[in-house]
Amino acid sequence: MSGGTASEESFRRPKVDVARLRRDAWYRRPRWRRLLGFVVAGLALAVVTGPQGAGSTALMSSLKATFTSVPRLGVCVGIGVLLWAVREFGAPLRAPARTAQDGVARGVAPLRRFYAAGVWPKLAVGALVLLAGAVIPNLLSPTWQVVFVEQMGVYLLLAVGLNVVIGWAGLLDLGFVAFYAVGAYSVAFWTGSLPVQPPVVLNPFVVIPIAVLTCLAAGLLLGTPTLRLRGDYLAIVTLGFHEIVYLVAKNADGFTGGSRGTTKMIPHPSIHLFGLDYNWMFDPLPYWYLILAFTAILVVLFSRLENSRIGRAWTAVREDEVAAQASGLNTVRYKLMAFAIGASTSGLAGVVYASKVGFINPDNFPLLASILVLSYVIFGGMGSIAGVLVGTALLTLLPQWLKSYVPAEDRYMYLGGLLVAMMIFRPQGVIPSRRRQREIKLAESGVGGADATGAAGGTTS
């Protein structure tokens, strides 16, 4: 670098302004193309927020209404143009925003240091969250209590389980809800609600360990032959497994009751001990506390697991399976372990769900649910338990909250849009794990890959 300085002095610069020659004519600058993009985005916004369509009677009614209502179209395109203007000419705004951001970061830094210092702050935060979880549902209306149990709670359990499979072991599992179904159907079987009668009819409480073990076995059964597949092949096989479970539940009329589901109501958990007689019935709160307890226990167990020998083995398998194997790790065993742990957690969620709702049918366990859980996990921040919990809570409550603002059927449209935006602007998730954040940062600057699902499919041949 320093060798050329002497000759640089004598090098005569050409008289022409190279920068000016290089510059395109004003209309060819990318800025105007971006304007076009923003205008199109504005039009898209108008279409998205437009009126509901009328179906086959007036096919184009919604689009027609959108493009003839000048004021709304104007507002939407105006928003687009405004965003463009901020992006192109907003440099003066950016500096104060940056200083404000830095100020906040500096203010938060001691707190963050305190939090990272030891285990006590973490325990305190955990206890606070637990307390909030115990108190908040009592203050809510019954509809929201049901939402808390059936939408959020169950998915919290599922997401914590899937996080082990995908976040830590890096196995892309698209059939996760199949185990959820297996758990739910085990309850239905052992409480005598299916066409087939069990040897003994049990209380749902007693079924919990049985169902968990069943799911563990199912996980091992599926995992043993398939876990040597990598990345996307594993994804499609698990997806296929889900379809098989779903269709067996739907078509094996004599065993599962077919598409109508359980023939009798699955009894609610009840306690009949020492003169104590307590049946949970439809009140959502006891189920919420059950879920809360399970989640808390699992969170503690799993975070212990994350930093154990097993957790580090998972990290190794996820980062580079070949290297892990070469270092003497029995990768199949660890992958199987992650798979089985995830499956049994999923089964647990199934038990709670089935005993809460009383009736189940195959359509409670669509493939869509697997994909939803997956998106909650990635949205929250793969590999970080706090992130997964927050992400699940946000994304399951969001549609319920949106219900009062937008037409109910449109909720998933906004959810989809949110997912795309989130992946573009914050791919590491709401609360990323530190390792993951670093991986993504490094990948952005071109160092290494940030793949968490084993090697890319293309490396085996």
The residue (of 124 and 421) whose beta carbon lies closer to another protein is: 421
Provide φ and ψ at 273, rounded to 5°: -135, 135
Answer whether 170's CB lies under 8 Å from 335's CB: no
Q: Does residue 192 touch another protein according to CB under 8 A?
A: no
Q: Least distance in Å: CB of 423 to another protein?
A: 4
Structure tokens at 54: 């009328």
- Tell me which of 155, 241, 280, 334 binds another protein, using CB under 8 A: 241
State which amino acid sits at residue 41: A
- Residues 159-188, one symbol each (x = binds another protein by CB under 8 A, - = not), give -------x-----x----------------
Mapped onto helix, strand or coil, the DSSP state of residue 279 is strand
Q: Least distance in Å: CB of 314 to another protein?
A: 16
Piece of the chain touching another protein by CB under 8 A; list 49-57, 134-142, 179-187, 285-293:
49-57
> How far, rounded to the nearest angstrom, does the alpha carbon of residue 337 sit from its chain's CA centroid?
21
Q: Least distance in Å: CB of 277 to another protein?
A: 44
427-446 residues in contact with another protein (CB under 8 A) are 427, 439-440, 443-444, 446
Token pair 């993504």 is at which residue? Answer: 440
Q: Least distance in Å: CB of 453 to another protein?
A: 6
Strand partners, 277: 272
**Alpha carbon distance 401, 394 (integer Å):** 10
The residue (of 130 and 440) whose beta carbon lies closer to another protein is: 440
The residue (of 143 and 259) whose beta carbon lies closer to another protein is: 259
- Tell me which of 3, 55, 96, 107 binds another protein, using CB under 8 A: 55
Degrees, nearest 5: CA angle 167-171-176: 90
Piece of the chain touching another protein by CB under 8 A; list 2-10, 101-109, 227-235, 297-305:
227-235
Q: Does residue 254 touch another protein according to CB under 8 A?
A: no
Q: Which of 99, 156, 45, 13 is nearest to 413 (CA)?
A: 45
Q: Least distance in Å: CB of 457 to another protein?
A: 6
Site for another protein (CB under 8 A): how many residues? 70
Answer whether 212's CB lies under 8 Å from 291's CB: no
**Alpha carbon distance 391, 162 (integer Å):** 13
Q: Least distance in Å: CB of 452 to another protein?
A: 6
Q: At what angle do helices 70-89 and 30-48 cross, to 10 degrees?
A: 140
Which element (helix H / strand E) includes 277? strand 276-279
Q: Does residue 63 touch another protein according to CB under 8 A?
A: yes
Q: At what angle do helices 284-306 and 309-319 cross, to 10 degrees?
A: 80
Q: Does residue 378 touch another protein according to CB under 8 A?
A: yes
Q: Does residue 233 touch another protein according to CB under 8 A?
A: yes
Residues forming contacts to another protein in the complex (CB under 8 A) are 47-48, 50, 52-56, 59-60, 62-63, 166, 172, 225-226, 228-229, 231-233, 235-237, 239-241, 243-244, 247-248, 250-251, 367, 371, 374-375, 378-379, 382, 407, 409-410, 412-413, 415-420, 422-424, 427, 439-440, 443-444, 446, 449-453, 456-458, 460-461
